[in-house]
Amino acid sequence: MGQGSRSNRRVVYETLRRKVLTLELPPGAALSENDLAAALGVSRTPVRESLILLGEEGLVRVFPKVGSFVSRVDADRVADAQFVREAVELAALDDVDPAALDPEVLAALRENLAQQRAPGVDVERFFALDEEFHHGLLRLSGHGSAWSTVVAAKAHLDRARRLGMQQPAGLDRLADEHESVLDAVVAGDVAVARDRLRSHLRAVFDAIERTRRRSPELFAAEDGTTPARRAVGARR
């Protein structure tokens, strides 16, 4: 395979993965190779290869004689990802020295919080700020490079988080929780910071249950029911 072909497949894979994680391709959506290829301006080959890679990540499911679908949100996969994230982020707080907080990182976190409360901030912008905030907390502990480990583990969790952010007052609540955690860190009370961060991270489970009650079709069926086909294309 030439360099151009590999590069093309990578772009298609990253594009489709982003659309799945941001819910532009929602849980349960049928995926037509022809429609996706036409929308992205590529041949079917990189689309097919990208769907295989996404299938290996559990973000796409293939049903023989039916087709490919965006995986529905699987609560078990979310819980596993949450376990990894919580383990890393809580452990990092133990290494925070409240008497030696990096002033640049701390200032960036305060500015981040201000942007979270900006009028009209949308879910995707807030999600990006949320990611930066948690990365910043790791940087305060000297473990900023561990963020890549967290990111690699939480693709399924991220879809659930975005669903939760779409709930009424969801963004305001998250901003309040972020500020509460940072205030405890600055005050030198790591134990309180850990408790607040743990509760903040685990709130995703309550959000999942609220969303499941409202939109059960977004979640994996326990009986493994094969979905009905309804194609969804993908804009660039």
Structural domains in the chain plus CATH codes: 3-72 (1.10.10.10), 75-214 (1.20.120.530)
Joined together, the tokens standing for residue 194 give 């850990």
User: Which residue matches tokens 């409360």?
Assistant: 117
Could you say which residues of the chain have pLDDT below 50?
Answer: 1, 223, 229-232
Question: Would you state the pLDDT for residue 53?
Answer: 94
Contact 25, 232 (CB under 8 A): yes
Question: What is the rounded distance in angstroms from the CA atom of residue 195 to the CA atom of residue 211?
Answer: 25
Predicted local confidence at residue 182, as pLDDT: 97
Other beta carbons within 10 angstroms of residue 160's beta carbon come to 27
Instruction: Give residue 221's pLDDT.
Output: 73
- Is residue 153 within 8 A of residue 81, CB to CB? The reply is yes
Beta strand spans in the chain (E): 30-31, 60-63, 67-70
